[in-house]
Amino acid sequence: MFKIYFCGLAVLLYAIIANILIKNFGIITWYDFGSIFLVSGLQSLTQINFFSICWLFFVYPLTLGLAYFYADKFYNLF
């Protein structure tokens, strides 16, 4: 049970830091995309730039998975 909590906390901390940093580069986060999507629906995909799409649908999920993977490895050291 504690392992799940530890890994979840690691992913959460990574997500918060990543969202703060990526926003400084002008790339849309899920929070921004959600509000655009609620107004425009699928048309919102045409309103955001290529880098934001790559971040939201490829890089961000991959790095969240890696955050879990490394948190799990770190937890198993102890």
pLDDT digits (tens, 9 = 90+) for 37-76: 999 998 988 999 999 999 999 999 999 999 999 999 999 9
pLDDT tens sequence across 3-18: 999 999 999 999 999 9
Structural domain boundaries in the chain: 2-76
pLDDT of residue 76: 93
| Structure-token pair, residue 24 | 């400084």
Query: What is the per-residue pLDDT for 15?
Result: 96
pTM: 0.83
Distance of CA 39 to the CA centre of its chain: 22
Distance between the two ends of the chain, CA-based, in angstroms? 15
pLDDT score for 78: 84
Distance CA 14, CA 24 (A): 16
Count CA atoms closer than 13 A to 40's CA, side-chain side: 13
Structure tokens at 68: 């879990």
